[in-house]
Structure 1
């Protein structure tokens, strides 16, 4: 999740050596070595996918090491840190998203990450903090179930019930234990699951909270609505407990990975594409649409999602996915009948 290529790891380690030498630390004790440890523990492979390779140990990390994090965000998310981040949970502002061609768009998922104020992030979180975070989550869900019934399960409970694979929790890697992300696993890790299976909330796994909704159709408008409504409900409950979600004007919603700051939102649609993945301009098309394409366990089926999480609001990023997927499907249909798609390729922005 946080890997980067070895040359980039070495460059960052050299360029920011002063942080290590002076041993600057946040109030909770996060030093620069903690920040870059995820990339050092799991550096990835040459020629492999470029991922972010670092993580904040707490919200103050983004302030103390701002020169480093700002450059990482600008490079990874292609976003200049000169504007204020906006947020929009009005799902009615989304145009389309329920009218995809079902022969191509198969299913969808929308997720959003949040960090809780006054607590360290996963790589630096102590056992006591993690247990307190779980305690806070239990209090919130006791009230949350008044509007959406559900149950909080420990990861151990889910692991012992192989029939219920809806949470899809993957055991941590050795490097995740080393960098602190999986410290004391599975202590205080849990998943809240709504009775109707429309919403999951991961607690203390990759971030303090991660809301996920999946659908067996590609109606991403409904999935986005589910996330918006329930995220606002949880936010109100945490504010009531005096532990609001962390928001900064330039960073937006602050979470542990700089790959997710801004909105913390990922909107994804599974799309059946046979011709387009072989097109010579595919990388340019995806870059200009600001989308990411990833393989699935099904040949010829790909996950299409927003490549960035900062620089636009939640509606804006979901709209990018909606419009982009519709365009990709139009291109696919043309290629199936051997027609040219040059006029469909978006201009460089």
Structure 2
């Protein structure tokens, strides 16, 4: 009897099969949680998945001796080494970033190009110590400042009262990058086609308020009807840096019926909105951009693919020359005397403007030299005020008067 009682007590202390299985499952789940937690805290380095046949950073450092881009001014062996073994989740490596500047090194006395491009939005974060320096040097901007955005067109003062004997026409454009997609130099055909379908959905809804039609790049090339929009063949630069891969697959332009707005899809960035006017009324052009970019922003959010915004960079696009606002406001101005004046370059620098030649003699394109540091209204205001001052200077020079007292302080 004593032995029987002891056996019962022992059996009672032994765990049942169900209890054993439950304990083992708990241990397994605990181990799985730990593995997941470790994976979350230490994500897999994409570079470890590649098998690139590369030498050391010292062996791979590019020859920048005759390179006159902003990239070449910034890049050092030490900086290159820090970026060398990094890759974004979509596979962008640092050599992809600097390739445009290596393909087109520029000229000693020519305009300096930025010389680099982001392959995706994450590039600006992963390679921030490089991109921040490029933006600071190229755009004369301190990255410690936070970027703001303002599309309230009522805040713009003037722009509808230029002297029409000098101001001939105007254009305002803005570029946007779409979240979760590679930029044009890096995206796949599939991504580009998805971007096209997203744009079509959004623009079809925009057309309910502003009637318009989406034309493929091929349709624009072969349709003889003048649509008021010119999109030429890919430039040599676009061919070299990969923007024009698979051209013209999934490239298109949406054109409003009234001709006030064009939206470029996958041409040079994910999206570019363009408004051109023959009356140089930049206030009206800016209003058109403001109203429709806000509508498109809301539509893309609804489609769960918002435009890329980062607090210090503003609106993020492929080129560091366009981050911040992505906005270019320009006025075509007839100037005969001012372009030959010795103080012109100093005046433009103080006004934070750039002057480019056009295909017409004595006609120049005046636009904002930067896209980051001010909001959209601020940059457009610089152009409005600057063009008025340049016209005033031109009139002085026509009368053989001096303009020294008109030279502004640094803006």
TM-score normalised by structure 2 residue count: 0.81
Q: Does 1:204 align with 2:266?
A: yes
Structure 2 residue aligned with 1:103: 165
Equivalent residue runs for 1:172-321 within 5 Å = 172-321=234-383
Gaps of 5+ in 1: none
Structure 1 residue aligned with 2:196: 134
- The answer to whether the Cα contact below 8 Å between 1:38 and 1:176 also exists between their aligned partners in 2 is no
Higher helix share goes to which structure? 2
TM-score normalised by structure 1 residue count: 0.96
Q: Which structure is higher in RCO with an 8 Å CA cutoff and minimum separation 6? A: 1
Report deviation, 1:252.
0.3
Report deviation, 1:51.
1.3
Structure 2 residue aligned with 1:17: 80
Q: CA separation in 1, counterparts of 2:73 and 2:204? A: 48
Q: CA separation in 1, counterparts of 2:334 and 2:248? A: 36
Deviations 1:228-248 (A, max 9, x none): 000001001000001000000
Closer, same or farther: CA 71–174 of 1 in aligned 2, 3 Å: same
Q: Does 1:340 align with 2:402?
A: yes
Gaps of 5+ in 2: 1-65
Q: Does 1:55 align with 2:117?
A: yes
Q: Does 1:64 align with 2:153?
A: no
Deviations 1:68-120 (A, max 9, x none): 10010001000010111000000000000000111001100000000111101
2:107 to 16, 35, 45: 45
Deviations 1:306-348 (A, max 9, x none): 0000000000000000000000011000000000111000123
Secondary structure class of the residue paired with 2:312: coil
Structure 1 residue aligned with 2:187: 125
Report deviation, 1:167.
2.6
- The answer to whether the Cα contact below 8 Å between 2:68 and 2:105 also exists between their aligned partners in 1 is no
Report deviation, 1:173.
3.4
Q: CA separation in 2, counterparts of 1:155 and 1:58? A: 24
Report deviation, 1:40.
1.1
Report deviation, 1:39.
1.2
Q: CA separation in 2, counterparts of 1:109 and 1:39? A: 28
Secondary structure class of the residue paired with 2:329: strand
- The answer to whether the Cα contact below 8 Å between 1:19 and 1:32 also exists between their aligned partners in 2 is no
Q: CA separation in 1, counterparts of 2:224 and 2:114? A: 32
Deviations 1:100-148 (A, max 9, x none): 1110011000000001111010100100000000000111111110110
Q: Does 1:116 align with 2:193?
A: no
Q: CA separation in 2, counterparts of 1:286 and 1:73? A: 20
- Higher Rg: 2
Report deviation, 1:14.
4.1
Q: CA separation in 2, counterparts of 1:277 and 1:184? A: 41
Q: CA separation in 2, counterparts of 1:295 and 1:162? A: 29
Q: CA separation in 2, counterparts of 1:280 and 1:110? A: 29
- The answer to whether the Cα contact below 8 Å between 2:136 and 2:143 also exists between their aligned partners in 1 is yes
- The answer to whether the Cα contact below 8 Å between 2:68 and 2:107 also exists between their aligned partners in 1 is no
Structure 1 residue aligned with 2:226: 164
Q: CA separation in 2, counterparts of 1:97 and 1:346? A: 19
Supply the RMSD in Å over aligned alpha carbons. Answer: 1.4
